[in-house]
């Protein structure tokens, strides 16, 4: 009868190899996750272009994959940085005795909108401002699932090959 035969030496080798795999360093985790994070960032940029949401390219160019060092270690992939500046609370008033409708500006602070705020508004929409929800991040994440899994599996396999498993 043909079958699989295992002995104690194989069990010891399996336990040793599992310990080696469990001793994954932060740099190794970062390398494995970075390969997948770059795929997601690229997919987000392509989705913005496909939906026509890249008039000034500020949102498109601000998408980054940021490594957050913690106990588990993970990547945050989102737009970061300043998107644009605008005048807030600017009021235009008419001179009291103007015969020709001359005006002057009162107040106005220069504020900046961040890229993650703009991305968030384009993701979920803003009915009061007449901005529809595009769900661009959700579309991008759904579009690249298979490629992300492949990249992570290839990076994990390369790590296992590197330690001789």
Which residues sit opposite 78 in a β-bridge? Answer: 64
Q: What is the pLDDT of residues 72-118, one digit of tens each?
A: 667 888 899 888 888 787 888 888 888 888 888 888 788 889 999 99
For residues 65, 66, 70 and 71, what is the CA-based torsion angle, rounded to 10 degrees? 20
pLDDT at 6: 44
pLDDT at 13: 57
What length does the chain have?
Answer: 165
Confidence (pTM): 0.73
Vertex 49 angle, CA 136 and 120, to 5°: 30
Vertex 87 angle, CA 85 and 90, to 5°: 175
Q: What is the pLDDT of residues 115-128, one digit of tens each?
A: 999 999 999 999 99
Distance CA 122, CA 136 (A): 7
Q: What is the pLDDT of residues 29-88, one digit of tens each?
A: 888 888 889 999 999 999 999 999 888 889 999 998 888 776 666 788 889 988 888 878
Distance CA 90, CA 105 (A): 7
For residues 122, 123, 127 and 129, what is the CA-based torsion angle, rounded to 10 degrees? -20
Are 29 and 68 in contact by the 8 Å Cβ rule? The answer is no
Which percentage of the chain shows pLDDT scores above 70? 83
């Amino acid at each position: 009868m043909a079958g699989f035969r295992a002995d104690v030496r194989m069990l010891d080798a399996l336990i040793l190899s599992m310990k080696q795999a469990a001793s994954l360093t932060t740099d190794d985790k970062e390398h494995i996750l970075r390969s997948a994070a770059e795929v997601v960032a690229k997919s987000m940029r392509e989705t913005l272009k496909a939906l026509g949401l890249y008039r000034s390219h500020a949102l498109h160019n601000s998408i980054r994959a940021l490594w957050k060092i913690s106990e588990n270690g993970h990547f945050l992939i989102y737009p970061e940085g300043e998107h644009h500046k605008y005048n807030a609370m600017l009021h235009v008033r008419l001179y009291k005795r103007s015969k020709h409708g001359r005006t002057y500006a009162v107040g106005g602070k220069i504020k900046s909108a961040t890229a993650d705020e703009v991305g968030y508004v384009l993701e979920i929409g803003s009915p009061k401002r007449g901005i529809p929800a595009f769900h661009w991040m959700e579309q991008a994440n759904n579009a690249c699932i298979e490629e992300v899994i492949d990249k992570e599996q290839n990076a994990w396999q390369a790590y296992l090959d590197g330690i001789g498993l």
